[in-house]
Every structure is written in structure tokens, then in C-alpha cells.
Amino acid sequence: MSDLLSLPDIKTIEPPQENETDMMFKVEAVGPPECCPECGFDKLYKHSSRNQLIMDLPIRLKRVGLQLNRRRYKCRECGSTFWERLISVDEKRSMTKRLLKSIQE
């Protein structure tokens, strides 16, 4: 499946669903985090997950939504839990950083 999104840390897991005005992609992170952001320990396990809607730049004049299967991890060393971090996503606004940049210009 070709990747229309070109986001380095997100991969498409199904072909997009499309209508006249919108495209919806089901996506997930390319890989799990390497270590705990609190203590740096590298032994983590999946704690839970949820779907999150992230908006992205339009494609072919259609509004683009990313249905992200976001995973939460727990550190085996310090016990902290955290959502996987994605460099392409602005966490405060539920949109990609490139969409935010486009809006601000």
C-alpha cells in the first residue's frame, strides 16, 4: 500500500475511506518507543490503547482525518505510564504539525 501521508512516524494500516469531501486513514505509530521518558529503562509493555482523531493537510482538495490507534505503555522499572509520542503530531491541537504550520502562515 503506497503511503499518501508521508509522515515519518505514522503508517497507514488500511486503504483510506473516501467520499466527495473527506478522506479518513486508519493509522498507527511505526514502532514502539525505545525507552521510558521518565527513567530511560528499555523494558516497556503495552498498557492500553484508544482511537484518536488527528487532522492533516488536505489531499486532492479533500479534508484529511487520521484515525490513530494510540498506544499507552508502562515501564517495568519505574511504573510510569505514557502515551506513545509522535513527532508529526501537535499534541495540544489534535492535528499534524504541518497542518498547524500551514494554518499559521
pLDDT digits (tens, 9 = 90+) for 53-75: 999 999 999 999 999 999 999 99
Determine the pLDDT at residue 2.
52
Q: Is the pLDDT of residue 33 over 70?
A: yes
**84 exposed, middle or buried (CB, 10 Å; 0-12, 13-18, 19+)?**
buried
Could you tell me the residue ranges of all domains in the chain? 10-104
Q: Would you say residue 47 has pLDDT above 80?
A: yes
Tell me the whole-structure pTM to 2 decimals. 0.85
Per residue in 80-105, pLDDT (tens digit) is 999 999 999 998 999 999 999 999 98
Cβ pair 49, 82 in contact under 8 A: no
